[in-house]
Chains A and B, each alone.
Chain A
């Protein structure tokens, strides 16, 4: 009877040596003539414990971590495969507080199962949502999504069901489902983890979307920086096609849906949906004017559902368990759960899926364990490079779209980047403008020129040696122009990190460098 041993194949775990650890486990098992079955899984999301090794003993998965490849031989010698005690032993993984305190709906299976094993996916509740959707009319499915309260998890928080209704209401003909997997925001990796750890969940979600609005072709637009996700998705797509979960007759329903991965090419702007569509069409990814909305004239001029990975991957659970089940989580108008990513200078970085309503402080300290450096956390940036910097005095804000808007911040894609007290906030403001200059698509002037002028202005402010007041006024004016004059969120939201840094940390702007 072989012992099941689990090691992640997630990119973050591999980056910390999970591949070497897995190889060392196989070698040690051979050397000691023990029979093991090594299962490669997604990551549990406890990145500081990677490479995490789990051993199944009496039906429970015991964790050891972080296990470097160099420690494997001694660990096996000490009785790893029978769950022996060791200084690296963590106990039953599901009972670790970091996991036990979460509410995993979208990430239910991530880190539990072999990501490309369709039978395991189905055994863990997969494809129940699509089966239910196939028994409903398109309008009923769209209503269910609307009733769940799901809002766009990419960051814009637009009600998903309303977007879909617009596509559903367009006359019949070619329609598309596009998944925005161009997860470019710093501090975010939930899309990547989901695609690597449970790719069938995204495939099922997109199939539900296609069936609901009558779209027969889907594209996953994946960023070039995610080669592991590309591999996992393509493996899963091949299995889904071969087993009739995709293709001309999805699960014998007579309905067609086909799906393809398309690679991006290192342009942050492609996270903006209209430039993503331009890119999919094979063009420079310049932002489109709106209207028309993508729901009316999207990919190749046809009605298109375009949603983020997490929005689409939330559909299987919503359809399987019903709108009310999902809606019962959350607060206010922010319903359901959000996979939050703890990143940057944080002790226990990783993925935490919680219902809306959890406080920033709870996330940073109860889950995150404070800074990695042990110094006080001075600021956090939530929602990527276009998100506001939030000072310690506002850490009690609850994770809720409206509560964040009220303090001039945004939830975005749920990435939280922590900085300790060594951070120079003027430098971070300068970086936000520099990033905008590098990544601007160039179509509109406030973004293209404003970002470059902003960098120059910040250089002058940081250098010092002159009266800063006129330059700070100019910076404010410039930000105002960018915010209200830019075509899309890149130029329009770059002022958020800049102005929030200036507002909350003015002392950093008055120091000569």
Chain B
């Protein structure tokens, strides 16, 4: 239980108790936990399983199936870079390469300063103004490598 403190435990239990009666409650519960804790800690799995009368394997299977759910704490911000066709058509590969180089990590990695976790997105729905990136819940269009530098500076300053 090393990385799982009493506060997190209480958060998980509260979210599970609040949503367990909904039909198909598991995804709303996982969303709720990730929204509050930034990720779904490993030690949350048995609590969720008990609350929904599922096996731990079933809960783990769902968490690991979906790209969105993360099992480890992310950086202070999550940078999603769109890799889909419409963004490729306007040169997102340069933006992608620049993001990897600037942050010094590949997809799913977190920059050494802890500011950004880099993720790939497969369409952010901004296909007429690519290349697109999303930082946390803020979407940006026409993101060239230069523009990405601006955004990274701006968001790093936010902390």
Contacts and interface: CB of A to CB of B under 8 A. Distances in A.
Interface of A: 11-12, 14-16, 47-48, 50, 183-189, 192, 224-228, 262-268, 279-285, 300, 341-346, 349-350, 372, 381, 385, 415, 417-420, 423, 428, 431, 435, 438-439, 441
Contacts of B132: 15
Contacts of A188: 123, 125, 127
Give the interface centre of B30, B58, B61, B89 by most chain A CB atoms within 10 Å: B89
Interface of B: 23-28, 30-31, 52, 58, 61-62, 65-69, 80, 84-90, 121-130, 132, 134, 137, 139-142
Nearest to A286: B65
The 3 closest A-B pairs by CB, nearest first: A349-B128, A282-B26, A186-B84
A285 B65 contact: yes
Given A12-B141, A282-B26, A385-B84, A417 B31 contact: no
Contact of A185 (B80, B123, B124, B128): B123
Contacts of A300: 23-24
B24 A225 contact: no
Contact of A47 (B68, B89, B129): B129
A18 B23 CA distance: 38
B38 to A, nearest CB: 15
A16 B128 CA distance: 11
Nearest to A219: B24
A262 B27 contact: yes
Given A189-B125, A349-B128, A431-B85, A15 B26 contact: no
A349 B123 CA distance: 16
Contact of B122 (A186, A281, A420): A186
A265 B30 contact: yes
Contacts of B24: 262, 280-282, 300
A228 B68 CA distance: 17
Given A16-B129, A225-B123, A282-B24, 11 more contacts: A225-B124, A225-B134, A262-B28, A264-B68, A265-B31, A281-B23, A283-B26, A344-B88, A344-B127, A345-B90, A435-B84
Most A CB within 10 A of own CB, among B52, B86, B122:
B86
Contacts of B26: 282-283
A184 B128 contact: no
A482 B41 CA distance: 37
A40 to B, nearest CB: 16
15 contacts: A11-B126, A50-B129, A184-B122, A265-B27, A265-B69, A267-B67, A281-B24, A282-B27, A282-B52, A284-B61, A341-B128, A342-B128, A343-B86, A344-B89, A428-B88
Nearest to B62: A284
Given A262-B28, A281-B24, A344 B130 contact: yes
B86 A263 contact: no
Most buried by B among A341, A343, A372, A428: A343
Contacts of B67: 265-267
Contact of B141 (A16, A183, A262): A16
A15 B128 contact: no
A65 to B, nearest CB: 13
A283 B52 CA distance: 12
Contact of A343 (B80, B122, B128, B142): B128
Contacts of B139: 11-12, 14-15, 228
A300 to B, nearest CB: 6
B90 A372 contact: yes
